[in-house]
Structure 1
Amino acid sequence: MPALYQVLGERAVEAAPQLARRGLSVNHTQSITLGVMAVYVVVIALLWNLPYLRWSLWPFKMLVIAFHEFGHAITACCTGGRVKSISLDPHEGGVTHMQGGMSAITLPAGYLGSSIIGALLIFAGFDIVASKVASIVLGVCFLLTLWWARRDWLTIMTVLLAVGLLVACWFIAHGEALRWVVLFIGVMSALYSVWDICDDLILRKVNSSDASVFAKKYGGSSQCWGVIWSIISLCFMAIGIIGGIAAFPESFSQQEKDSQHFIPT
């Protein structure tokens, strides 16, 4: 993930003065991208709750749960801890077994980490080349997750299918399909994080959540922390959208030309 921050972060920094000059004007290509995002939101919201049809989202739900667990794992490593294992549950759950680390960072890192990943993927989803860069970094992160979860068959299958999907999309219209897949995964990750927080912490009041452990250690209630983390997650998503609009004003045809010169397929 540091590489994704570095590459896409540089574009976000470059986008700041552009955003100041252009305001929030949206060109034709960007309006289509925003429209597709809106369709994604509606489709995900419908499929999330419709009986039987909601199973079509199950692979993507497992994928963003892997993002959630990766957030715990990477922050544990960055704060002096050690990751013992990662496993996913077919009932849409997951757990990261780790030792040490700073709990004040590792506990919220699952929810907020998946939100940050979602925001970065939304940002990258505005451009084909940026989507290619994001997919490469995602592949590295997936392999790292695979190492931590090498004894969990569901995590292994989820990661391998995700990598396979990304690789296949590289060969469709010089990566144009990859752009839409990256955008979908980004929207899914950002929305899943907010929904998961609301569902587990605010609506159902689950006692074994990350927020409940955080509340016991540092005060407050799990519902309070859930609201705070939800707001932060939505802010990340908004930043990703605004950054994408500012950084990638190129038309579809220009993006395709640029993509042909960046690891062409």
Structure 2
Amino acid sequence: MFGFRPDPKSPPLDVSASEKPGSALLLAIAALATIVLWQIPLGKYLLYPFTILATWFHEMGHGLTAILLGGYFQQLVINPNGSGFARYGGEVLLGNLGQGLVAMGGPLGPAIAGSLFILSSRSHRATDLCLKALGMLILVSLLLWVRSLFGIVFMTLVAIAILLVAYCGNRWLKGIAIQFLGVQACISTFQQVDYLFTQAIPGGQLSDTGLLQRYLWLPYWLWGAIISLMTLGLLLWSLKVAYTRPR
């Protein structure tokens, strides 16, 4: 496990609060604008690449949580319209609690990872590591789980872009890239805000919060509120730490 400390052998990234005091605010505004635009049809087209990336983050959250709890991750499908699903199963640890954690892994897992990405921007070494790890994770997901042609093609391009930044970009570009990707991971939960507060989707399949209600008792709308608050809290906290804590 790595710590988010500056590398004493190299100068700090040019993304500190003292040098670029408006950067954190701009990232927060960009996050809010993205969430708002996602809720309207035109906005989804304008933000199309980020819509697809948000779907990947969400479905990977489900699948990887299932693996961590002893289940299996069978496949991930991303459709051209931005929808997708992850197929996972098996006997997970902790019974109903484990099933609930897998359901929560989709909307909340990416927010946890995204906050770590943002925090990593405080150190050049950690930024490099996170960019390379994310690019490689996307490639691994293509080999093991992604099973739609569109998803394979699109996410291959994303992985190549991230790895190019990781290996060829300067420190400023790497810092901005990891922060931007971290913000996108955090807000992927809000790609469809109404989904968080929906018990079941058309066809009768339970939503993530509907599954949480089944396994962990609290009503789906309360789970939607809890996940929303936790996601926003992680985003704002990580931005605050990245820009205000001494390096």
**Do both proteins adopt the same fold according to a TM-score greater than 0.5, normalized to the shorter chain?**
yes
- Kept in 1: contact 2:17–2:23 (CA 8 A): no
Residues 125-184 of structure 1, C-alpha deviations (whole Å, 9 max, x = no match): 455443221111102221232123343112212321111111332466524223222222
Decide which structure has greater helix share: 1
Structure 2: segments with no counterpart, 5+ residues: 7-15, 93-97
Structure 1: segments with no counterpart, 5+ residues: 1-5, 16-25, 250-265
> How has the CA–CA distance of structure 1 residues 173 and 84 changed in structure 2, closer, same or farther, with 3 Å as cutoff?
closer
Number of corresponding residues: 228
> How has the CA–CA distance of structure 1 residues 82 and 50 changed in structure 2, closer, same or farther, with 3 Å as cutoff?
closer
- Kept in 1: contact 2:58–2:188 (CA 8 A): no
Partner of 1:65: 55
| Cα distance in 2 for residues equivalent to 1:134 and 1:162 | 15
Give the letter aligned to residue 83 of structure 1.
F
Q: Tell me, what secondary structure is at the counterpart of 1:220?
A: coil
Partner of 2:46: 56
* TM-score when normalising by structure 1: 0.75
| Cα distance in 2 for residues equivalent to 1:193 and 1:243 | 21
Q: Tell me, what secondary structure is at the counterpart of 2:81?
A: coil
Residues 57-100 of structure 1, C-alpha deviations (whole Å, 9 max, x = no match): 11112112111111111111111111111111222222111122
Give the letter aligned to residue 199 of structure 1.
D
Q: Tell me, what secondary structure is at the counterpart of 1:108?
A: helix
Give the letter aligned to residue 212 of structure 2.
F
Give the letter aligned to residue 69 of structure 2.
T
Q: Tell me, what secondary structure is at the counterpart of 2:147?
A: coil
> How has the CA–CA distance of structure 1 residues 50 and 248 changed in structure 2, closer, same or farther, with 3 Å as cutoff?
farther
- Kept in 2: contact 1:72–1:106 (CA 8 A): yes
Partner of 2:237: 239
Is 1:214 matched up with 2:209? no
| Cα distance in 2 for residues equivalent to 1:46 and 1:221 | 25
- Kept in 2: contact 1:30–1:245 (CA 8 A): no
In structure 2, which of residues 93, 108, 115 is the aligned counterpart of residue 112 of structure 1?
108
| Cα distance in 2 for residues equivalent to 1:84 and 1:51 | 31
Partner of 1:226: 224
- Kept in 2: contact 1:120–1:186 (CA 8 A): yes
- Kept in 2: contact 1:132–1:175 (CA 8 A): no
Between the aligned residues of both structures, percent identity stands at 21
Partner of 1:164: 160
| Cα distance in 2 for residues equivalent to 1:53 and 1:200 | 17
* TM-score when normalising by structure 2: 0.79
